[in-house]
Amino acid sequence: MHGLRYSHEQALENAMLRQRVITALVLAPLTILLILLLPTSAFACLLAMAFLAAAWEWTRLAGMKSRVTRGVALGVVLIAFVALWMFRASTWLWPALIAAGVAGWLLACVWLRHFAFAAAPTPENRNLKLLAGAFVVVPAWVAGVSIHQAPSYGHVWFFLAMLLVWAADTGAYFAGSYFGKGKRKLAPQISPGKTWVGVYGAFATSALVIAVAGWLLDVHDLRLLGLIVVTIVTVASSIVGDLLESLMKRHANVKDSGALFPGHGGLLDRLDSVFAALPVFALGKLLLGL
């Protein structure tokens, strides 16, 4: 019986992996083309649409039941995007929001340590989670557009930020699958499948990617070392983003944020790491003068 159960679980895992691979093979080329070919104005609109769709899923996880109320919440975020686009030439507003986004993810680390906080389905906890969602979505959009509109290889830098998240996710998956069995868990109360071995795999894979990419982008010496450090911090923040969404799903007692992508769940399931990574990568890039 034990062998049969193991075979069944292995078959389910393999089927899920096939679904994830097929979905990624369909979505990845389209995403890369849109990142590299669209002008920033069109890209900002597309990014806003994707982030609003993820924010819609976040409102459900936060505990909002009424579709009308959730729509109003999304309208507020949309107005914020439009206003921020109009003031994109400000020398301090966008960097301040990016820094606020980074600070928000530092606070998220504290929340993860006290994972039962705000778990009860009360109006106060719902509003707190909605406020947290604003700090997740808005600074990430500002950071993403800021990277993409940079005068020197902005489109490529944004693609690189996404590539780091993808590489980290892939490295963590395979390192955890092949070397993490029975190893120390990262956050067993929040996401039992994640191990520290997976984290090390994510760091190693992303550091290798940025070393090659930095060399191709003519980033050398101390700035390349700084870029590798920024990458490690970015990947660490992406893991925090993944864990925060897992925490939200545990509080809401759901497996996925949605069912938009076969094998991948909802859009928020695909963007949770990106939301955390973009502000950190944008701030690091700004501090390095890249």
Cα torsion at 172, 176, 179, 185 (round to 10°)? 120
pLDDT of 6 > 50? The answer is no
Note the pLDDT of residue 72.
Answer: 95
pTM of the model: 0.89
pLDDT of 287 > 90? The answer is yes
Tens of pLDDT, residue by residue over 26-73, are 777 888 899 999 999 999 999 999 999 999 999 999 999 899 999 999
Note the pLDDT of residue 9.
Answer: 52
Tens of pLDDT, residue by residue over 124-172, are 999 999 999 999 999 999 999 999 999 889 999 999 999 999 999 999 9
Sequence-separated contacts (24+) of 72-77 with Cβ below 8 Å: 73/130, 77/51, 77/52, 77/134, 77/137, 77/138
Count the domains in the chain.
Answer: 1
CA pair distance 90, 94, nearest whole angstrom: 7
Confidence class of residue 23 from pLDDT cuts 50, 70 and 90?
low
Note the pLDDT of residue 146.
Answer: 96
Residue 212's nearest CA partner among 277, 160, 279, 147 is: 160
| Partners of residue 195 on adjacent β-strands | 185
Tens of pLDDT, residue by residue over 79-97, are 999 999 999 888 899 999 9
For the chain, the average pLDDT equals: 88
Range of the domain at 15: 2-288
Burial class (CB in 10 A: 0-12, 13-18, 19+), 168: buried
